[in-house]
Amino acid sequence: MIWQNFIDQTLKPIQVSDTISEIKLAFKASKFNHLPVFKKEVFKGSVHIDDLLDLEPTSSLSDFNYLLEVFYVESHKTNLDLIHEFANHQTNLLPILDQDKKYLGVIKLEDTLDLFGESPFVANEGEVMILRKEKSKFAFSEVAQLIETLNARVSGMYVSKLSEEFVEITVKVEHQGINEILQTFRRYEYQIVSEHPEDLFAEDLKEHSDYLNKYLDI
């Protein structure tokens, strides 16, 4: 299901002419940390509840225009764009505008997370691996090829960490036995960041480490 179906148009708009006291009441009636602000029907930005704490209750928000944060998502963007904006602005409510910057409504963080949870990457059965490799040697095509040559299937993958030296990706795999997949990636110079009970290589390392510790204690 597309996220645009979850745009909420019922939220009562806050006007820049409203008093701080009135806006605090609007926050109290909601469960959001930001609320969108308008000048008549024109979207001007969002205000955070914490920024109102020490303001004079009878003053108007228009006296504090510097508190307005201008962020939004356009209606043609993807689920990942939504998640990026939620995280980037530490908010649980995003204003949605069309390509002409006309306000369409808001979308809630909880609805976006529910949609993400229904995606095949999250909902399908499988094993999640975190792999790391030198940036200059990394290729998505190689990751997919190595998995598919072992008669497994990739449910999804994304870059979860990136630096100048290495790439770290999260991969979900439908498989019959994860150990063979892990050993194959090691042979191709991937580091396995995630932990797996079926990882015989990691178990062997632990046994050798335990043996060495016992030897050193003698």
Per-residue model confidence (pLDDT) at position 1 = 58
CATH number of the structural domain 3-116: 3.10.580.10
pLDDT band per the 50, 70, 90 thresholds, residue 126: confident
Average pLDDT over residues 84-100: 95
Domain residue limits, the chain: 3-116, 120-217
| Residue the block writes with tokens 């979207």 | 43
pLDDT, tens digit, 9 for 90 and up, residues 190-213? 999 998 887 755 455 444 444 444
pTM to 2 decimal places: 0.71
Q: By C-alpha distance, which of 172, 199, 203 is closest to 184?
A: 199
- Residue written as token pair 């764009």: 81
Q: Please tell me the predicted confidence (pLDDT) of residue 133.
A: 97
Q: Which residue has the higher pLDDT, 67 or 202?
A: 67
**Which homologous superfamily is 120-217 in?**
MTH889-like domain (3.30.70.1340)
Give the pLDDT mean for 63-71. 96
CA distance linking residue 157 with residue 187, whole number of Å: 20
pLDDT in tens, 131-179: 999 999 999 999 999 999 999 999 889 899 999 999 999 999 988 778 8
Amino acid sitting at position 120: P
Across the chain, where does the E strand assignment appear? 14-15, 34-39, 42-48, 73-74, 93-97, 103-108, 127-134, 153-162, 166-174, 191-192
Beta pairing partners, 130: 170
Which structure tokens are listed for 186?
Answer: 């090691």
Residue 214 has pLDDT above 70, yes or no: no
